Amino acid sequence: MSLIYKYILALITTTLPTAAVFGQSDFTASLKKNLGNYSPLYIEAEISSPVGNEHLYPKVIISEEPYSLTQNAISYYDAISSLPTETKISMLKAHSEIAYAAEKTGISYPDELLWLPFAISAFNKDYEQNGNCGFWGLQYLYAIKYGVEISECTDGRHDIMQSTKAAIRQLEYFHEKFEKWDIALAAYLFGPSNLKLMQVQGKQTSEIYTSLDPYGKNIFDIWCAVISWAENYRNSKIDVKAIEQQYDTIRINDRIHIEQISKVMGISVNELKSLNSTFHCEVIDGRHSAVTFKLPTGRKDDFTRLHDSIVKYNDTIYFPPPKPPVEPKNYVVEGNGDKIIYKIQQGDYLGKIAQKFGVKVSDIQAWNGLSNTNITAGKTLVIWTSKKPASSSQTSQTSQPKTTTSTTKPTTQTSSSSSSSAATFNTKDYTLVETYTVKSGDNPYNIAKRYSWATADDILKWNNISDPSKLQIGQKLKIYKKK
């Protein structure tokens, strides 16, 4: 431990006796945790001469506007004063980094404004509440308005440099519009339209904050409490040194999980996330638009050399291949595979079922004793697929199955009758249009739909086919058209 650090510890420990704190413990616990995890990205700060004793300033001034601390604000001041010395030192250092970022805006602002992130988010870069996000609780539209980078996997509101620039500009805009900081902050947090509605209703400023949700109603009081506490350290000497940015920049054009980079390149996930603080996804997806990503200095060439290994490392674990859709099991195959018991689904009709199994509507009617095409979801149908079924004229002369689950196979057309039918086809009356190659999923019915003049029976007749279920992928079918 350096002598300067010991000196700071000795001087800051003396505080006023704290009053009983009611409902402030969550805030101070969050502040202590967040500052304990704080790791400066842009500057390093050394504090060499802090003020030795803390005392309450009951009135604070924000840009020449005086505000008296309410009893609620005083209780927050007491809670802050009771924080451990290490946490208070971290607050001063974190404030220095906010000030460093604020200087880059190029606009004027009151110094008190830079304590606001401690009140809004308890200095949590991952803070998110009611659409307010990041250190400054920036809303999305305000962030985009002032150039904060936000995409599917990145959010610049988590970066102290980007968020500070945007927040100060938006707060200054609202202060110019509403002329008081307490009103400007309410507009910033909850939107100017909501604020104006409350003002139209005749509500005073204190009533406006009280009527807000639990997230927002204490923020102005906390801000005043932090400013009052910070007045004790206004004259502290803080030496600031910019941190040299130690990283290489790469462009990722494919999809990579951050752990794939970590495992193959031997870089910890925490280090990668620290370098890329605005990323909030585990996956870097540059397939549609290249993504800029940071690596430790000197590792750019390693990434290029190991790129293929990174992409392939446990790729089926990080990116499991999609499972093919499973067709609902709505039918049962019996016997040698020639008989199907089909359960009618919602939205089914006979033509659709006939096309699915490569049979005729009239056949389904004959096999199931149907006098019309009306069917009901949940009922079953018997469908035969092994031989070409009898034509409708023939089935009218044969006995029909008594029920939809009959195991008696209906009379079907014989191969000799099929040949007889084929024999009536005279190629002299037709012109060969094309030769069609059977594809996966084809049946005579969907093939016939390609040709306005042809039916499924025509195609079977033209090609001397008696059993439509015997079509083979790659089989050549001749397509004719009457002269």
CATH of region 331-413, choose from 3.40.190.10, 3.10.350.10, 1.10.3720.10, 2.60.120.260? 3.10.350.10
Chain segment 327-378, per-residue pLDDT in tens: 556 777 776 667 888 989 888 888 888 888 888 888 898 888 888 888 988 8
Q: Which residues belong to CATH 3.10.350.10 in the chain?
A: 331-413, 416-482
Per-residue 3-state assignment (H helix, E strand, C coil) for the chain: CCHHHHHHHHHHCCCCCCCCCCCCHHHHHHHHHHHHCCCCCCEEEEECCCCCCCCCCCEEEECCEEEECCHHHHHHHHHHHCCCHHHHHHHHHHHHHHHHHHHCCCCCCCHHHHHHHHHHCCCCCCCEECCEECCCCECHHHHHHCCCCECCCEEHHHCHHHHHHHHHHHHHHHHHHHCCHHHHHHHHHHCHHHHHHHHHCCCCHHHHHHHCCCCCCCHHHHHHHHHHHHHHHCCCCEEEEECCCCEEEEEECCEEEHHHHHHHHCCCHHHHHHHCCCECCCEEECCCCCEEEEEECCCHHHHHHHHHHHHHCCHHHHCCCCCCCCCCCCEEEECCCCEEEEECCCCCCHHHHHHHHCCCHHHHHHHHCCCCCCCCCCCEEEEECCCCECCHHHHCCCCCCCCCCCCCCCCECCHHHHHHHHHCCCHHHEEEEEEEECCCCCCHHHHHCCCCCCCHHHHHHHCCCCCHHHCCCCCEEEEEEEC
State which fold the 416-482 domain adopts: Membrane-bound Lytic Murein Transglycosylase D; Chain A (3.10.350)
- Band (412; pLDDT cuts 50, 70, 90): very low
pLDDT digits (tens, 9 = 90+) for 58-116: 999 998 999 999 999 999 999 999 999 889 999 999 999 999 999 988 888 999 999 99
pTM of the model: 0.59
